[in-house]
Structure 1
Amino acid sequence: MNLSRPLIEDVVLRLVRPDDAPSFCEAQLRSREQLAPWEPRRTDEWYDPAYQATRFQSLLDRENTFPWVVASQDRVIGTVTLSNIVAGPWRSGDLGYWIDVAEVGRGLASAAVAAVCELADQELLLHRIAASTRTDNAPSQRVLTKNGFEQYGSARNYLHIDGAWRDHNLYQRILNDRAPGEAPS
């Protein structure tokens, strides 16, 4: 199974490696202020490469999670994670992503989400991907709708983000109508 994809120019989507931790931490620190409204509050441990290397290995060891990095010449400039993957008749997973503040505006989030949708459909044989955004996160909503996601609902006090329970819009993309686990023809 090939779980890597070229995105644009010298940027690729590939599975995370524990040795990505220092570069990831640099990008997270650079983007800390930009990401604060959209993520849980982070402790100092979050920015420690040793902690992240262990976390990355733990993510890679899970059967229901695919953690990718958006990388330019082995420099992490974002991540995309497909988690909570359920097989059987559900064939679904949850999507999360972010791009380094220094790289925003290049179309990388849209390209990375498109690549993950393709991988989820063609390689992981999923039927559906779900995502959520805070109700006021218009840039992320644009990324999702550009990639064929539709809003199907909203959830009050859905996630504890930036220090409080926040309302979220719920999105999904139906990837195919194949029987569960059936390969594309």
Structure 2
Amino acid sequence: MPTLELLRPDHADALLAFERANRAWFARTVPDRGDAYFAEFPARHAALLAEQAEGTCRFHVILDADGALIGRINLVDLSGGTADLGYRIAESAAGRGLAKAAVAEACRLAATAYGLHALNAATTLDNPASQAVLTHNGFAVTGEILLGDRPALRYHRDLDRPGPA
């Protein structure tokens, strides 16, 4: 099963390689980050670490059993006991239940380590795998939104209720 680690400075190279290798894969179901993301990656990585140090976000990398970076899972905009959940899994690791396990672990951490009471998430309508991950982990649809220019579903989970076993 995957391991979640808080984002650190030494994750930068592996995280950039992960984002580059999976850019086309991600763009199939989420808005593309754009060329500037990759050109300005060192500054962006430093900014994420600064946000994490301030306590407004918790960024995690997902590592496989061999320690290879296969995904990321983030809790952003921590405020008033809630946060927004986002995640990405490498194409090479998709379809093996890793996202379900990582989201379950992020929910556990959110409730126990970060003192959160609820999480929100969103996924595009053309991403049934992500919809299944959220539903499996106790998230319920609360409405429709746009992610970039793509139709999407908004989800919510109260962490005070036990999640699925």
**Rounded Cα–Cα distance in structure 1 between residues aligned with 2:115 and 2:50:** 23
Q: Which residue of 2 aligns with 1:140?
A: 130
Q: Which secondary structure does the structure 2 equivalent of 1:69 belong to? A: strand
TM, length-normalised to structure 1? 0.78
- Write out aligned runs for 1:4-15 (5 A): 8=1, 11-15=2-6
1:134 CA displacement: 1.0
Give the residue type in structure 2 aligned to 1:170. Answer: R
How many residue pairs were aligned?
159
CA distance in 1, matches of 2:28, 2:54: 28
Aligned to 1:61: 53
Q: Point out the more displaced range, 67-76 or 19-28.
A: 67-76
Identity of aligned residues (%): 33
**Match of residue 159 from structure 1:** 147
Preserved contact between residue 129 and residue 172 of structure 1 (Cα < 8 Å): yes
Please list every run of 5 or more consecutive structure 1 residues that lacks an aligned counterpart in the other structure.
Answer: 1-7, 178-185
Instruction: Please tell me the root mean square deviation across aligned C-alpha atoms, in Å.
Output: 1.8
Q: How big is the shift at 1:55?
A: 3.5
**Aligned partner of 1:135: which letter?**
L
Residues 110-149 of structure 1: matches in 2 within 5 Å? 110-149=100-139
Q: CA deviation at 1:74?
A: 4.2
Higher deviation after alignment, 62-71 or 52-61: 52-61
Match in the other structure for 1:180: none
Structure 2 equivalent of residue 85 of structure 1 = 78
CA distance in 1, matches of 2:16, 2:134: 26
CA contact (8 A) 2:139 2:156 kept: yes
For 1:24-103, what aligned pairs fall within 5 Å after superposition?
24-48=15-39, 50-72=42-64, 73-87=66-80, 91-103=81-93
- Aligned twin of 1:172: 156
CA deviations over 1:124-162 (Å, ceiling 9, x no partner): 22211111111221010000001011112112xx221xx
Deviation digits for residues 155-177 of structure 1 (CA, Å, limit 9, x no counterpart) = 2xx221xxxx2221111111116
**Cα 1:59–1:101, aligned 2, differ >3 Å: closer, same or farther?**
farther
- Give the counterpart letter for 1:55 in structure 2: A
Unaligned runs of 5+ residues in structure 2 are none
Cα-to-partner distance string for 1:97-119 (whole Å, 9 max, x where unaligned) = 00111111221111110001111
Identify, as 1 or 2, the structure richer in helix: 2
Structure 2 length-normalised TM: 0.86
